[in-house]
A and B are shown apart, each in its own frame.
Chain A
């Protein structure tokens, strides 16, 4: 395992034109507020000491989801090798909130950044064992070349930011 897994994750994301920021849990809410462009929807963050900014609408209506420019979700784990975040399909709407708005802000605990796909599959298998069986490996931004050249933000987000909670 590389010593600096988060560094590797950051480099992979750089290639995907996805920004990564390491912040202490105490500062996370403030950073999210800066990155998020309104209207903002989100699902509650399960990390101790981290809450969503007040402006974020959780439990949005379909109309709010459609109108939102930013979606903030936790991710269960991340895979440094490919710059992948694992988004779960949960009842609180993580999947559509990560998918519909043009900007996705993904929040992950540093201890949940695993080095490679195999380690990711171990985490995935653990989740399956616990009944969490619908997961999306999302890597970079939605893209297509079907219109003749590469364009981002086709159906999913065209802009992704990752926040790593360095003390979680």
Chain B
């Protein structure tokens, strides 16, 4: 697939924002809100998630055994198991099953054409089963209402769970009025549903074969589990004589007991329902009688289901036939891939889509590949269709990590996106050397990376150079010819304000006011005044933005800590690797993580606490470093590093005097936007608590993300999407007299949209400089 140019991609995103975004947002955000409520009401949620993940880990680990086990179980029940290598193999097998059914028992119903009814299945979307069957002159009817709408519209799913989510009721009504020409035009959802029930009911009654997916397959009993709200899966499975269930091999779980946490979790994570309407557990061929609507006079129980009795004259009167098709299609290779393996734990609930701000804005047609959509789609597409399919949308994951808490099996979806981005970088065909960014790229990446990525991945070096030459660099960067060049060469949208670099970095400022000796004296004086007995010392991490751009929050942090009696050091420290990770430059991030660890290890061993202001840098240390450092090194950094307000909260809890920071009068309204990664790390609450203790009536934002997430919003192709997402956040906080945000990007985005200052909470709390 050819790569789209930036402007083609920008056009495509704009089109989706205009045509599908509203409908997708309306539904996905409701499911997301319900998920929060249902998760919140589930006391044992964390243990369920842990258990579910552990079952999946075990099952994938012993997958070949489980395939043998399920084959024995299904064959013992009287069914057949077929393991299909790829799409063509699976499609040919299903076509054969239909042909055999027809040649033995004739075509059901009045029609001459063999027919199949299907219950929604992403796995059959993956292999384009419908096209393959239709090419063999077999009629296929989707019976899930959403899937059927798409079939009528000749459209593709935009969400794993709600496939037609991008279409509004009015659009569906127009489509149906056009296609079916009813006596009275359809208007309401009720009318549309009634019509669908009648139409699809007839198709099901006349079908030769019923095809379903499977949410889970219990290996040792051969039990297919179907989770639905409509009931069509049950009808497809039990009405025709022959049932074919198609499932990826990863759907296997060992025993019935292993099913329980998934039954408990899947609807909660998908739609926020406590449980779905129908959890159908069939160990086919079932005893349930087949329903021969061609012979309406004989009792349904005459033939019976799968009985041990001899077959009737036609070979199988009333008897049932069952085929389980287990699809490999790249999955067994994914199992061997240390980075993509986790994808196989996915239970296809769509919670990653529902929690994703970018998904809300463009839906699965923007944030998806050939089949799968949402955060986890990168893993699926890279695994089953190849990296190119994932490349189409991979950059839409900003790594905000909100899906990590949503995922019922705790898949680290942002990491999968980072890894795939890294692999795509390595396969890029961009010019290997580049005059514009070469001088700024001390990275370890091989040639062939997009220039813009290389630029943002090395933002620390850029910032250092820009700071050294400020304010000239700022004037220059905002000059129209330079903006045009930046846009053309690096894809930096000229509508976006660039960060303004400070001539005096935070590290310089700290040194110029006396460094750590002076800080110790200040802290000591404060401690004597407040009589607090806090014996801590802090290394404040000067992340790129705090050091070169947003130095005020760094200064405020220093003053706050000193006022609470804690001496501070602000050494010049290496980059965290966050910027490189965002661009999928894992080797560079890996080296930076090692350097930062080396630089901090002595500080930690000397008993100092590492305090970080920028939440995304803290998230790198607390989350991604697990992948980049030896376990012991990771643990040491993680347990000794804190977010600034979390740290202040800890000081207040340990006797520091909140009056020192009480700049509010108790009534002052503040709207606080935490930060996506900070919230995933459960660090929103400490900031809120500190603000409240210091006299602010705090409201928090519910929007998942500000739409900036580092460099994302600077890139030309994503600028409008970034603004669309940002406006949802802005509309939530705009009425508050004061707005604060923890992340640099969040603050930048809000300042642009609200046209006023948005500072870090610590700037609100900090005593004035002395």
Contact = CB atoms under 8 A, between A and B. Distances in A.
Interface in A25-79: 59-63, 65-66
B162 A65 contact: no
B283 A133 contact: yes
B295 interface: yes
Contacts of A124: 256, 281
A157 B484 CA distance: 62
A154 B279 contact: no
A8 B478 CA distance: 66
A120 to B, nearest CB: 9
Interface centre among A117, A124, A149, A155 (most CB of B within 10 A): A155
B281 A134 contact: yes
Given A99-B235, A147-B193, A156-B234, A128 B221 contact: yes
B277 interface: yes
A89 B291 CA distance: 13
B223 interface: yes
Interface stretch (B144-152, B328-336, B669-677): B144-152
A82 B275 contact: yes
B296 interface: yes
Contact of B300 (A60, A141, A142, A150): A60
B301 interface: yes
Contacts of B163: 146
Interface residues of B, number: 69
A90 to B, nearest CB: 5
Given A60-B300, A63-B297, A138-B277, A147 B283 contact: no
A139 B276 contact: yes
Contacts of B264: 117
Interface centre among B170, B235, B275, B305 (most CB of A within 10 A): B275
Interface string A123-148: 01100100001111111111111111
A65 B223 contact: no
Interface string A88-117: 011111111001100000000000000001
Given A154-B196, A155-B143, A125 B277 contact: no
B109 interface: no
Nearest to B146: A146
Contacts of A149: 169, 189
Interface centre among A62, A128, A138 (most CB of B within 10 A): A62
A90 B288 contact: yes
A153 interface: yes
B277 A146 contact: no
B300 A96 contact: yes
Nearest to B171: A148
Contacts of B295: 62
Contacts of A100: 235
B339 interface: no
B231 interface: yes
Contacts of B235: 99-100, 155-156
Contact of A91 (B168, B169, B229, B287): B287
A91 B305 contact: yes
A6 to B, nearest CB: 19
A114 to B, nearest CB: 13
Nearest to A41: B300
A137 B279 contact: yes
Contacts of B296: 61-63, 66
Given A154-B229, A155-B231, 5 more contacts: A96-B238, A143-B277, A146-B149, A146-B164, A149-B189
- Nearest 8 Cβ contacts at the A-B interface: A148-B169, A156-B231, A63-B296, A133-B283, A146-B146, A146-B145, A155-B231, A147-B189
